[in-house]
Amino acid sequence: MLLSKSCVYGLRASIYLASKSDEEFNSIKEMSDKLEISFHFLTKILQQLTAESLMESYKGPKGGIRLTKKGREATLLDMVIAIDGPELFTQCALGLPGCGSATPCPLHESWIETRASIQGMLERTTLSELAREGKQNKFRLMADGSFNWD
Amino acid sequence: MLLSKSCVYGLRASIYLASKSDEEFNSIKEMSDKLEISFHFLTKILQQLTAESLMESYKGPKGGIRLTKKGREATLLDMVIAIDGPELFTQCALGLPGCGSATPCPLHESWIETRASIQGMLERTTLSELAREGKQNKFRLMADGSFNWD
DNA sequence: TCTATTTAAGAGTTTATTGTCTTAAATATA
DNA sequence: TATATTTAAGACAATAAACTCTTAAATAGA
């Protein structure tokens, strides 16, 4: 798989939160239920994103989590790098440390292009814009397509 | 990572074998030494490729492994699918089973293109042709670049 | 101040991937 | 036929990823 499961969970949660009000803290439990992701597992992933100031959380009753301004203006690429790390966008396709334009591996040239395509897909829009598109097109965010964008 | 370690080992071994004579069986031990891949681990990966008739092996002294005709005419894509399976080229980027053009996830449209780019990179040339390019350009096949194409 | 609620943190479990080691089967050659 | 060599197969171990469970810390509201 291109992205780890943790990463995919983080992206789906990011898009979920982007579809919500900027000010309100959203219950993680409610989100994990709606997205059908293990609650405790999801909290750990979200903590990686709050560590990067892409999200902020609040404890106690009425507590929850929301995107920061930085997070709303960030792209999925920022989320991916925060969770899976930058390796996908820096490493050789064959994992050869010395690979570069000087002494490339057989895939090097194509991989530069393909990698740019992956990167482009992830940084095409900000999360705010993605949420707008999502509401408009009612994009799928769950296996069974039951997510409600309103 | 885009490809599993097993898969990357399989690709490097495939390119290695493509650079060798069509008839001779090549020692797996020698190949694992030259590519710096664990011998026993590599044999298991190669067995997946022989199961698909992309390679054929021979036991005993003078034994070893070589690409079949099918293998030489195959592309890296065939090797990837034999080892990592076809999921990368069939699944949704967010792993959502129901995702499709009818009710796409937010990445669906871009992912179709990006996936085609990955696939294109892997099926651009046959292994025979790749070996020819490799000899010509002395492509990197090892971390330290010490592979000898002759 | 006390209690209930919610996220944070950390330990522990399960599963998949990666890697090692031993034995079996095939076969060339002495 | 006996031996050495090489791949096949399977058990086992280490590591990483994915997931669960328990306790701690913060805080709203009674």
Nucleotides of D under 7 A from a protein CB: 4-10, 17-22, 25-29
pLDDT tens across the length of chain B (150 residues): 899 999 999 999 999 999 999 999 999 999 999 999 999 999 999 999 999 999 999 999 999 999 999 999 999 999 999 999 999 999 999 999 999 999 999 999 999 999 999 999 999 999 999 999 999 999 999 999 999 998
Per-residue pLDDT, averaged over A61-76, amounts to: 98
Contact A95 B120 (CB under 8 A): no
Contacts of B122 by beta carbon, 8 Å cutoff, 6+ apart: B75, B76, B77, B80
Q: Beta B55-58 vs B64-67: how paired, if at all? A: antiparallel
Could you report the per-residue pLDDT of A48-60, keeping only the tens digit for each?
999 999 999 999 9
What pLDDT is attached to residue B28?
Answer: 98
First to last CA, chain B: 31
Q: Which residue has the tokens 């920061």?
A: A68
Per-position b or e across A103-123, b if 16+ CB within 10 A of its CB: ebbbbbebbeebbebbbebbe
B51: helix, strand or coil: helix
* CA–CA distance, A37 with A31 (Å, rounded to integer): 8
Q: pLDDT class for A150, splitting at 50, 70, 90?
A: confident
Q: Is the Cβ–Cβ distance between B75 and B122 less than 8 Å? A: yes
Contact A99 B140 (CB under 8 A): yes
Residues 34-93 of B with CB under 7 A from strand C: 38, 40-41, 44, 58-63
* CA–CA distance, A111 with B125 (Å, rounded to integer): 14
* Contact flag, residue B48 CB and nucleic strand D, below 7 A: no
Helices A28-35, A39-51: axis angle to 10 degrees equals 120
Q: Is the Cβ–Cβ distance between A12 and A45 less than 8 Å? A: no
* CA–CA distance, B48 with B11 (Å, rounded to integer): 12
Could you report the per-residue pLDDT of A15-37, keeping only the tens digit for each?
999 999 999 999 999 999 999 99
Percent of chain A's residues with pLDDT above 70: 100
What pLDDT is attached to residue B150?
Answer: 87
What pLDDT is attached to residue B125?
Answer: 98
What pLDDT is attached to residue B110?
Answer: 98
Q: Which of A30, A78, A35, A37 is nearest to A54 (CA)?
A: A78
* CA–CA distance, B17 with B41 (Å, rounded to integer): 17
Q: How far does A79 lie from chain B, in Å, by closest CA?
A: 13
* Contact flag, residue A38 CB and nucleic strand D, below 7 A: yes
* CA–CA distance, A80 with A114 (Å, rounded to integer): 17
Could you report the per-residue pLDDT of A96-130, keeping only the tens digit for each?
999 999 999 999 999 999 999 999 999 999 999 99
Q: Is the Cβ–Cβ distance between B104 and B90 less than 8 Å? A: no
What pLDDT is attached to residue A87?
Answer: 98
- The dihedral built from the CA positions of residue B143, B10, B134 and B137, taken in this order, carries a sign that is negative
- We find that the CATH architecture of domain B5-137 is Orthogonal Bundle (1.10)
Q: Is the Cβ–Cβ distance between B10 and B48 less than 8 Å? A: yes
Q: What residue in A sits closest to B124 (Cα-Cα)?
A: A110
What is the pTM for the complete model shown?
0.96
Which chain B residues are within 8 Å of A141, Cβ to Cβ?
A: 96, 105-106
Question: Per CA to C1' distance, which residue is closest to D28?
Answer: A61
Contact A76 B142 (CB under 8 A): no
* Contact flag, residue A60 CB and nucleic strand C, below 7 A: yes
Report the complex ipTM.
0.94
* CA–CA distance, A97 with A73 (Å, rounded to integer): 33
